[in-house]
Structure 1
Amino acid sequence: MRIRLMLAAAILTPALGVATPSFAQGQSEGYKFLSAVRDAKNNDVLEMLGRPGSNIINTRDVTSGEGALHIVIKRSDEVYLRFLLQKGADANLRDGKGNTPLLLAVTLGQTGMIPILTAAGANPNLANSAGETPLIRAVQRRDVGMIRVLLTEGADPDQADIMAGMSARDYAKQDGRNPVVTKLLADAPKKVKKAVSGPKF
């Protein structure tokens, strides 16, 4: 009876799509990498990134969509952030809600991470799924220092979100609880939109 059950299990396993050990191992490299980053297992991270042909640096968590950059920003780890960016991590990688590492850094009040990310190519005007930009978030936080840094890095004060159709300038004007923020955004110059080249008739 026991042999029959074992044979039945062996026959049903592939049919039910249960992963074989080697398949599971291959598919879980990204998971192992993100886990090592979460647990700050530096030797494991270095070993995995050092493998020839490794392309796991921009792996995204299957549940949250988070990448390694999101993980280290959440724990305020600037050293690890610089290391991952030097290893080729995408500074514009979005999580499941469309949040970029820069947007997450702003949300968590990590002002010092903004120039690190923009120096690595982070787009200061890349919005999430709701159309919220890093500057809109900074205005909502009424964080004067962060707003100044973002404007210096090229954030557009007039880029509107999707939910309310309002820009950072609009939110600052509507709020009014921090006169410095209101004035800062009122005085921010409009960004010149590049003309779209195309056929002329």
Structure 2
Amino acid sequence: MTRPSLLSVALAALACAAMPVATPARAQQQSESYKFLNAIREAKGNDVIAMLDRPGSSVVNARDISTGEGALHIVIKRGDETYLRYLLQKGADPNLRDAQGNTPLILAVQAGQRDMIPILAAAKANPNLGNQSGVTPLILAVQGRSIDMVRLLLAAKADPDQADMMAGLSARDYANQDTRSTAIAKLFAETPKKARPAVAGPKF
């Protein structure tokens, strides 16, 4: 039996090194997500359109691996209504949460983007989704004393009696505690409390 020469062994090694290595599907998806979110951040419209128009693409709901933010979070922070409408038309999830549990609607209130509230509401954004602390968009609007945003959120079926997890207080509670601005408390006084189902105990 003949032993392979050193030259043939070396050539075989070079051939193996030259062969393309298949990229795992997960790594490919992460790379695609990174490119998409970067294109959103830099407002590269042609790149964004090309990636979203790709057949079978689900990149519209990609999330940053470090912050958890998606495309909607990015465009809301910069106040870009054009991109917001376009992404929602392309199937972006209006209830996508970042690493802190913030939804696009929460960020819109935080940023004072009142005109984005009805856009998100029309796309079925849930106004009662709180962040990791249970803080809802309506609580934030009350704390910011923005009666316009409070009205918009109430119109979108926000619950003024949903409490947060930190203080156990609701938007109505925070409004009633604010003695410097009573307009929102008066607005809530005209908003009846919703009937809540009784919590059933164990049955024996």
Query: How does the TM-score come out when normalised to structure 1?
Result: 0.84
Q: Deviations over 1:42-80 (max 9, x none)?
A: 000011111111111100101110000000000100111
Larger Cα-atom Rg: 2
1:175 shift after superposition: 1.6
1:53 paired with 2:85, answer no
Unpaired runs of 5+ in structure 2? Answer: 1-12
Corresponding residue number in structure 1 for 2:9: none
- Greater shift, 139-148 or 187-196, is seen at 187-196
- Matches of 1:193 and 1:58, distance apart in 2: 33
Q: Name the amino acid aligned to 1:104.
A: L
1:188 corresponds to: 191
2:159 matched residue in structure 1 = 156
- C-alpha root-mean-square deviation of aligned residues, in Å? 2.3
> What is the aligned counterpart of 1:94 among 62, 72, 97?
97
Matched, 1:71 2:88: no
Moved more, 87-96 or 169-178: 169-178
- Contact 1:138/1:147 (<8 A) preserved: yes
Aligned partners of 2:170 and 2:139: how far apart in 1? 7
Any stretches of 5+ residues in structure 1 without a counterpart? Answer: 1-6, 12-19
Looking at structure 1, the residues matched to 195 and 81 of structure 2 have their Cα atoms a distance apart, in angstroms, of 32
Match of 1:120 in 2: 123
CA offsets, 1:124-152, max 9 Å, x none? 10111000010000000000111111111
SS across alignment from 2:159: coil
Task: State whether structure 2 residue 108 is matched by structure 1 residue 131.
Answer: no
Match of 1:32 in 2: 35
Alignment-derived partner of residue 4 in structure 2: none
Quick check: 1:64–1:95 contact (8 Å CA) kept in 2? yes
Return the offset for 1:195: 8.0
> 2:159 matched to 1:140?
no
Cα separation, 2, equivalents of 1:128 and 1:169:
18
Structure 1 residue identity aligned to 2:176: K
Please report how far the alpha carbon of residue 190 of structure 1 lies from its aligned counterpart in structure 2 after TM superposition.
1.2
Cα deviation, 1:75-107, whole Å, max 9, x if unaligned, reads 100111000000000000000000000011011
SS at match of 2:125: coil
Call closer, same or farther: CA 1:190–1:65 in 2, change over 3 Å: same
2:185 is paired with a residue whose SS is helix
Alignment length (residue pairs): 182
Contact (CA 8 Å) 2:176, 2:182: kept in 1 or not? no
